[in-house]
Amino acid sequence: MTATLTEFHPLTESVQPVFDTVLARSPHEPEFQQAVHEVLATIAPALDQHPEYIEAGILDRLVEPERQIMFRVPWMDDADKLQVNRGYRIQFSSVLGPYKGGLRFHPSVNLSIIKFLGFEQIFKNALTGQGIGGAKGGSDFDPHGRSDAEVMRFCQSFMGELYRHLGEHTDVPAGDIGVGGREIGYLFGMYRKITNRHESGMFTGKGTGWGGAEVRTEATGYGAVFFAQEMLAVHNDSLAGKRVGVSGSGNVAIYAIQKACQLGATAVTASDSSGYVVDDAGIDLDLLRQIKEVERARIVEYANRRASARFIEGGSVWDVPVDIAVPSATQNEVSAADAEALIANGVRAVSEGANMPCVPEAVAAFQRAGVLFAPGKAANAGGVATSALEMSQNASRQRWNFGDSENKLREIMSDIHNASFQAAEKYGVPGDYVAGANIAGFQRVATAMLAQGAI
C-alpha cells in the first residue's frame, strides 16, 4: 500500500514523519493509511505558507482520534441463539463542533474502515461551514436478510453501550450503509428510553414525522450531482443531454439518479454486489426503489421487469460508456483499470458519491487525462450538511419545507465547490479539486486548533 501511495502522491519531508507514525501505530489499517496519505500529500502548499501548522503539531494531533470506542454487541436472533458483533465509534475531532458522522452496519466494517471514514469526515464537515466535528461508527452486523425484530434487537443492544458517548452537544450520529430509516428509528427509540430525554438533535436522518428534515434522505445523492453540475459550469457545460453512470442502488445512488434526470441527464446504470444493470432508456426510478427499498431484492429483478434493461453478473459497471460517472457504492470500488475504461469511453467528469470509491491510481489517471474529478469529502458532503440543517431545525423547533431545504443544500454544495476551486487556484494547483478540498477543509480545522491551544 505504502509504495503504491508514494508512487502517485509523494510526501514532503515536513509530513513524512507524521505518516511514518501512522504506519507504526496503525500497521494493519490500509484504508486509514490511504486516507491520511492523500491528505498529507495534497496540503503541502498550505504547509509551506503556514509553517505554524507544523510547529504547533496540528498534523500529529489530527491523525490521532480524540477518542476510540470499541465494544461488544450481544443480541438474540429469531431462533433464540445468541449472536455477538463488534461495535465502533471513532471520535476524531470536535474542534469545530460536536462530533458528526454516520453509522455503518456491514460485514466489511473493521477498525481501519471506520477510522478512514472518520478521518475523511473531519475535512468534509469543515467544508460545509456548519460547525460540526468529525466522527464515524458502525458494526460488522449485516442487516440484509434479517427480520425487523432481529434488527431491532441488535440496534437496541448497540445503543445500550453507545448512548453514554452521545448527545446533541457531544456526538450526533446519522445513517450510512446498512443504516436507514428503520435502523435510525430503533436506535433513537432506545436512546430516548435509556436517557429519559427526547433529545431530537442527537440523531439525524430521522423520520420527517418525528424530527427529521426534508431532503435528508436525498441529500448525499443530490449533492454529488450538484457538485458535478458546478464543475461542468466552470467549463460552460451542463448535465443536459449527458449519459450518467451510477454504481450502487442505495440511498446515494437512487437520489443521484433522480437528480441527474431532473437536470436533463439520462442515468443508465445501477448495481449491487451481484452485478449491474444497464438501461439505455434511462433507469426507471420507481421500479428501482420498489425492488431495493421495499422488496430489498437483488438488482437482477430490475432487468427481469424492464424490457429495455439488461443484467450483467459480476463484471464492472464502469465498462459502460458514460459522460458522467457517480460512484456511489463503497470505498475503492473504482480500480485503475476501471478508470482507464471510463477515460477510453470519453468520460467528462467523475463525482464521488461514496466515500473514497476511487483508488489512488484511478484518481491519478483521471487527473492526467483532464477528467474533472470531485473527491468524496467535497462531492458527497451534502448528506452531512443537511444533517447539520436537521440539527438546526431540531434546536429551534422549526421545520422547513422540501423546496427551502433543497435550496439550502444547493447553496452549500456551491459554496463547497467554490472553496475547493479557489483553494486550488490560490495554492498553485488550479483545477485539482482533491488538493483544493483538502486544503480548504484542513485550514478551517487548523485555524480553530491553533486558537484553542494544545488540547
**Residue whose grid cell is 487556484:** 425
How far is Cα 194 from Cα 44, in angstroms, rounded to an integer?
46
Measured at the CA of 376, the angle between CA 138 and CA 367, to 5 degrees, comes to: 145
How far is Cα 114 from Cα 121, in angstroms, rounded to an integer?
10
Measured at the CA of 359, the angle between CA 375 and CA 356, to 5 degrees, comes to: 40
| Catalytic residue, candidates 115, 136, 206, 377 | 136
206 is catalytic: no
Measured at the CA of 230, the angle between CA 9 and CA 357, to 5 degrees, comes to: 40
**Residue whose grid cell is 509504495:** 3
Q: Which residues pair with residue 85 across a beta bridge? A: 73
**Contact partners, residue 337, CB within 8 Å, separation at least 6:** 316
Alpha-carbon Rg for the chain in angstroms: 21
Q: Are 374 and 231 in contact (CB under 8 A)?
A: yes
All cell numbers assigned to 103: 453509522
Task: Report, as residue numbers or ranges, the catalytic residues.
Answer: 136
